[in-house]
Chain A
Amino acid sequence: MRTLCLVIFCILGVSCLDQPPCLDSQNNRIEISFKSIDDNTDKTITVDSVYVSNPLFIVEKNIDIAGTEIPLYPDMNEVLIIIESASLQDSIKLQYEARPKLYSRECDVEMIFNEFSLEYTTADSIRLNLELIPPQIEIVF
């Protein structure tokens, strides 16, 4: 018994645990898409601008798009998204939590954005899937 104990002791002594791989959480964006109210298909519009306010970041400008991705500030807990086009003048304000996350000591720190909630919007019809990764907003018109 004493010998068995010492042998297993040595075997376990040379074992090691692997570090998990670095992960890209893919949740540092909000996806916005435009949908047709008639058949719920993607709707391409010409936007004058899509931007985030305070601090200002212009996401899209003078382009035909059916959707876009909004980056999230890691040092804020809310985002005001403003969409300006000939057919659409809307703003959407969301609240969220941003927390750093370290997967492995070999990885960079990632930010986890969650606990999204709608504070207000001027859009007439909007569908929110804020539990998805990334969160999705559909503007229907």
Chain B
Amino acid sequence: MAQNDTVRIEFRSIRLGIDGFGLIRSAVTPGLSTIEFNGELDMTKYILAVDLGRFSQEIDSLPRYNYDITGNYFRIGLDANFIPKDRDGSIIAFGVRYGRAGFDDRIDYDYSDSDLGTFSGMTAFNNDASASWLEAHVGMKARVYKGIWLGYRASYKFGLNIKSSEFEPFIIPGYGPGETNTDSDTTWGFNYYILIGLGKN
């Protein structure tokens, strides 16, 4: 192999970003507020990545139910860059993440039984609930202008493990739907983010 074909693992840049998908969802979804920051240490062939997020949502479907959740989460993992020599500095990557969330949630609801009647004012809540999961994803990032990247990733999320006390949460911050509202224990997620690079770029 010629020497100029080799790609060494070396520091290329640090990128800091924000998840634009979450910002858009927050803007258009009543009761939802979510923000996620992304940090990346680009070592050319490999990228060490950390995501930090905060999530809160109130789903008001009264008189049937009102669901309220607030929590924080993080993901940490590594990406492998398939095109480390791209002259634009663009990236196609496969990566894995470990995610963990801590949250409180509460549901107020009415329950009706055909024989026993309607039970009004029922409440259940989870204090200090937590969840962990794994993600495998593919993603692309393109440098659109100088030190600014636009990117996305599609994540397959699995291995969800929830610790809750009174009921199974409907939403897991950073993960998506709780396992109670899907037919499987896996889900998909999308992130669109804008990153600003610091360093050699």
Interface pick from B9-17, B39-47, B150-158: B150-158
Closest 8 CB pairs of A and B: A5-B142, A109-B109, A2-B142, A71-B115, A1-B90, A5-B140, A99-B167, A102-B170
Contact indicator per residue, chain B 110-150, by CB within 8 Å of chain A (1) or not (0): 11111110010010100000000000000011111000001
| B150 and A28 form a contact (CB under 8 A) | no
Interface residue? B5 (CB, 8 A)? no
Question: Contacts A9-B150, A9-B192, A100-B167; is A1 near B122 (CB within 8 Å)?
Answer: no
List B residues at the A interface (Cβ < 8 Å).
59, 61, 64-65, 67, 83, 86, 88, 90, 92, 107, 109-116, 119, 122, 124, 140-144, 150-152, 154, 166-168, 170, 180-183, 188, 190, 192
| Residues of chain A within 8 A of B141, CB atoms compared | 5
C-alpha gap A104/B59 in the complex (Å): 11
Known A-B contacts A1-B142, A5-B142, A8-B152; the reply to A103 vs B122 at CB < 8 A is: no
Number of interface residues of A (CB under 8 A): 30
Cβ 8 A contact of B111, one of A9, A15, A100: A100
Q: In the complex, A41→B65 CA distance in Å?
A: 44
Could you tell me if A105 and B144 are in contact, using CB atoms closer than 8 angstroms? Answer: no
Which residues from chain B contact A105 at a C-beta distance below 8 Å? 59, 61, 67, 170
Residues of A contacting B144 in the complex (Cβ-Cβ under 8 angstroms): 2, 6
